[in-house]
A and B are shown apart, each in its own frame.
Chain A
Amino acid sequence: MSGDADKVYSTGLTFAEAEELHKHLIEGTRSFGAIALLAHVLAFAFSPWLH
């Protein structure tokens, strides 16, 4: 699939461009995960699960 580097798919994107878009998605998911983890640590310190 990735062999055809210059093929433009129906979105007007080549595979390299789709890969970049995907990179942003992965990066976003990772930062979101890190934020959630941090928020949970702090929330737990204040009151274990807001009890």
Chain B
Amino acid sequence: MNRVSQKLMSTWVRLGPRFLPFADAATPELPLSRLLRLSLFQVSVGMALVLLIGTLNRVMIVELDVPASLVGIMISLPLVFAPFRAVIGFRSDTHRSALGWRRVPFIWRGTMIQFGGLAIMPFALLVLSGGGDAAKYPVELGWAGAGLAFLLVGAGLHTVQTVGLALATDLAPAEARPKVVGLMYVMLLFGMIASALIFGLLLADFSPMKLVQVIQGSAVATMVLNCLALWKQEGRNPNRGKSSRPAPTFRDSWDNFVQGGHAVRRLVAVGLGTLGFSMEDVLLEPYGGQILHLTVGSTTKLTATLAIGGLIGFGLASRVLSRGFDPFRMASYGALIGVPAFLLVIAAGPADSAVLFGLGTALIGFGGGLFGHGTLTATMNLAPPGQSGLALGAWGAVQATAAGVGVALGGIIRDVVANQHAGQAFGPAAGYDLVYLLEVLLLFAALAAMLPLMRGARLAQN
């Protein structure tokens, strides 16, 4: 070790504990202020999601003239990391550290990776668009740069969210978890809505310089939010680092996890339900415009309607579940509300009724809120001791993959049906209606998967 390192290290050991990011002595309860601070990581995840799926999607196609197919590939790159959430969670469960930390090193690395992706992203996109001097260089430079930027942001946000939720599970006692889950969802939604508005405002008059400022600003915001979130949250347990037992392999841990409490069935239910609630995501606005002839202003309000429905769902689920209600019953009610919600949206077309459409959209948000809250609360409550990272990772892997695949599938199915003669025979709404009907079927399948889970919960209570 060189002299500079020696010097710095002796500084760390002498610094007051006030300046070190450890939790003070474990507190019996988690105060709301600390919980709110922890939930800031969800704001940074929401911001990154909006940037990838919303803002940059549009900027690349409209302002930068990048071919839509290339944009589609770039935007789906972060999804590659979603299945690895289970591995990330497992790695954090079994992390060996002299400090006795399990979660902080991973959140920190995830933050760094997300920051790195966002820091290089604006230049990568500008090179990808072939603007400026970029045309002088081979196109591969732009592809590689943009691909790397999207991969890094994806890897970072999946790591931060998985390990952040595992940390929240570690910190929150069982009776507080429904409230913690509600808060995490609300903060994710808040991060998405607030950053969508801010990005929209800042990029209103677009210039390459503005793009660099906005995306790099979001990189710095990621760093600040995540550091605030993890500061003094995780307590130290140095004995954990000293254990001489060999760390279990992923296979061992997974087998152990799968044996307890219908783990696979729970994951299947999460996958089916999430797929059922996400395929309409990019279709509601064009459906409103094309079939119901709503203006751009009123279709934008749809996003708000969906979000408000979701917020009411999270709020209600938090209240009811913290009184000891069965989370799977709650998730099933969510799926049950989803069924008439999609039927209302389908009926809005022939009835030419914006009111039915709005009501259906709000109910989709509401049902999705109940379903998401119920399944995440159940995941936290049923996580085996010492395996909360793996449990939350598996939930996140299924949830994020299903959501990403669902959104893509919805768009593809609609396009395929709309472009075929057989599809056109049923009118312009056929593509949309087929997707909505598929979602109804998926929700029924999710309900069927959850039925034994509810009975099991009831038997356990008796």
Contacts and interface: CB of A to CB of B under 8 A. Distances in A.
B321 interface: no
Given A22-B8, A45-B127, A11 B132 contact: no
Nearest to B22: A12
A10 B12 contact: no
Contact of B120 (A14, A17, A22, A38): A38
A13 B5 CA distance: 17
Contact of B16 (A11, A20, A38): A11
Interface residues of B, number: 40
Contact of B123 (A13, A15, A24, A39): A39
B108 A21 contact: no
Given A9-B13, A18-B13, A46-B123, A28 B134 contact: no
B332 to A, nearest CB: 44
Interface string B93-112: 00001110000010011001
A18 B108 contact: no
Given A12-B17, A22-B9, A43 B99 contact: no
B124 A47 contact: no
A43 to B, nearest CB: 5
Contacts of B119: 35-36, 39
Contacts of A43: 123
A11 B442 CA distance: 55
Interface string A19-33: 111101111100110
Contact of A46 (B17, B127, B238): B127
A47 B150 CA distance: 22
A35 B126 CA distance: 17
B172 to A, nearest CB: 25
A32 B111 CA distance: 11
B120 A39 contact: yes
B255 interface: no
B112 A28 contact: yes
A1 B108 contact: no
B141 interface: yes
Contact of A18 (B12, B105, B145): B12
A47 B137 CA distance: 11
A35 B238 CA distance: 32
Given A21-B20, A42-B126, 11 more contacts: A1-B6, A17-B99, A18-B12, A26-B5, A27-B109, A28-B108, A35-B119, A42-B127, A45-B134, A45-B136, A50-B209
15 contacts: A1-B10, A13-B13, A15-B13, A20-B98, A21-B99, A24-B108, A28-B112, A31-B112, A31-B113, A35-B119, A35-B120, A38-B116, A45-B133, A46-B208, A47-B133
